[in-house]
Amino acid sequence: MDIEVNIALKRLDSILPLLSGLKALSRDDAALYCKLIHSYVQQGRALTRQEIGELVGNAEQALNSIVNSKLIVLDADGNPVGAYPFTSEEREHKVYVNDVTVHCMCALDALAVSPMFNKPTVINSQCRVTGKKIHIQQNGTERCGGTLDVWFGINWGAAVTDTVCAMTLCMEMMFLANKSVAREWLAESPETREIFDLPSAIDFSAGFFVPLAENCQLAV
């Protein structure tokens, strides 16, 4: 893992400390988060409030605890609509895994699914600048097919401390069609933007999300 990726990992963790949030949860609440993300991979959707109520004694208390750790997002009625790296919203990043299709909150999240769950994935997305279709076949931390020259971009300036990251910084983590497009995008705001080639982006994604999966194995 190169220096730039290590720096980016520390920067993202300072904005969205998911691993420390998971470790701060009680064993039961941590296990619930893990069941939420596995539900996306197994069923292509989040667990319902009713299903959660069958798993824990106090669904509202458990969900609020996990929300406070920034690991999940609830809708206005208190139903889970996102559990990093997944979302129930139809965003531009679709991932085919385990015979189901799921949506991910951002491009970095999409790249995390294969290494997190140790399953091959197919990512269908698009370049945020050109609209060009992006297709990535992935197995763990290896790309095994798809669009040749995909890059990843992140606009760190989108982070807002008092707003859910899923609606701010996550919206500004994107795929870019190729190196030329990526450099042009970076040049528009070099003080807040950063770009990575695809192998580095996969390392970045795995470095951030795989520790969550490893801790889930301990919690479930």
How distant, in Å, are the alpha carbons of 13, 15, 91, 144, 209 from that of 21? Answer: 10, 12, 25, 33, 13
CATH topology classification for 15-219:
Beta-Lactamase (3.30.450)
Tell me what the mean pLDDT of segment 98-117 comes to: 95
pTM of the complete model: 0.93
The candidate with the shortest Cα–Cα distance to 165, out of 64, 16, 10, 9, is: 16
The pLDDT tens digits for 7-65 are 999 999 999 999 999 999 999 999 999 999 999 999 999 998 889 988 888 888 999 99
| Cβ burial, residue 27 (10 Å; 0-12/13-18/19+) | exposed
Query: What sign has the CA pseudo-torsion 152, 156, 158, 159?
Result: positive
The pLDDT tens digits for 174-204 are 999 999 999 999 999 999 999 999 999 999 9
Length of the chain: 220
On the question of a cis peptide bond just before residue 85, with omega within 30 degrees of 0, the verdict is yes
The pLDDT tens digits for 108-138 are 999 999 999 999 999 999 999 999 999 999 9
- What does the domain layout of the chain look like in residue ranges? 15-219
The angle formed by the CA atoms of residues 115, 120 and 122, to the nearest 5 degrees, is 105
